[in-house]
Copies of this chain bind each other. A is one copy, B any other.
Amino acid sequence: MLAARDRLAGVANRTPVLTSRTLDAMTGAHVFFKCENFQRVGAFKFRGAFNAVASLDDAAAVRGVVAHSSGNHAAAVSLAARIRGIAATIVLPRDAARAKIASVERCGGRIVYSEPTVASREEIAARIVEETGAVFIHPSNDARVIAGQGTAALELVEEIRELDAIVTPVSGGGLLGGTALAAHGIDARIRVFGAEPSGADDAMRSLAAGRIVKPENPQTICDGLRSHLGASTFPILREHVTKIITVPDEETTRSMRLVWEVLKVLVEPSSAIALAAVLASPDEFRGARVGVIFSGGNVDLDQLPWG
């Protein structure tokens, strides 16, 4: 984690922590919002991607990196590779949103299109790895990625003393796992919570079942929270996470609008869900000092959920 922080120093933004009297009154807690929506590419994903890319030895790096993602990880890997001066190939589904394509292009990623299925994306990415020797960068299930994501919480815990709890969204578990390791590396008493859409509650079910449960046809407006835990993230969550709080999409939308109106910052639904989890669990957080990680702020302003 400290090595990841050193790699990211001067490259990633050290993002600010915001507070609000109004939201403290509404939650009954003292909430500290770590604004990764202000991170490069607009999401914490840059931390993990850059740490992974920067960790490669020169012999591996020269062959480039590959990722598949329909979200922020694609732009994050592209930018990380450009900073290192190596090639990034991003496999995107043919029907990817224009904004996502533009974002990868802006960050210098080379796009290869797949059919709009996960199987097709994975197959094409695997073929590129085989043919070129490029290194595949997974969006969450990778120790270097997990360590990178954890640096956000590391900054938060060092800046805001005596936190009682931290809440992050959970999808593949990279952010939540990295956060848990960072927080417990400093203070094992900090309670760590994941916030997950009710319509994509595989992490909650995985921890309950004691094995990785994959989501079947996840339904949620949180487009960043549809993945599942992996072999690297699941054991960390199992050991370190107090609880997964599930949140219906309506509450996430309400919380997103609240953040925009009160804090005046743009967060995407996959971020707003963490505040929604705090609002939905007053008994859990009453009077506590709670860190909330706003994971990203990439939204389509023409498609707002309350529009």
Contact = CB atoms under 8 A, between A and B. Distances in A.
A60 interface: no
A301 B297 contact: no
Contacts of A306: 301-302
Identify which of A265, A301, A304 gathers the most chain B CB atoms within 10 Å of its CB. Answer: A265
How many chain copies? 2
Nearest to A38: B264
Interface size class of A (residues with CB under 8 A): 20 to 34
Contacts of A302: 306
A257 B16 contact: no
Interface string A265-307: 1110000000000000000000000000000010001101011
Contacts of A297: 264
Nearest to A264: B297
A14 to B, nearest CB: 12
Given A16-B16, A307-B307, A264 B37 contact: yes
A75 B266 CA distance: 23
B266 A42 contact: no
Interface of A: 16, 18, 35, 37-38, 42, 257, 260-261, 263-267, 297, 301-302, 304, 306-307
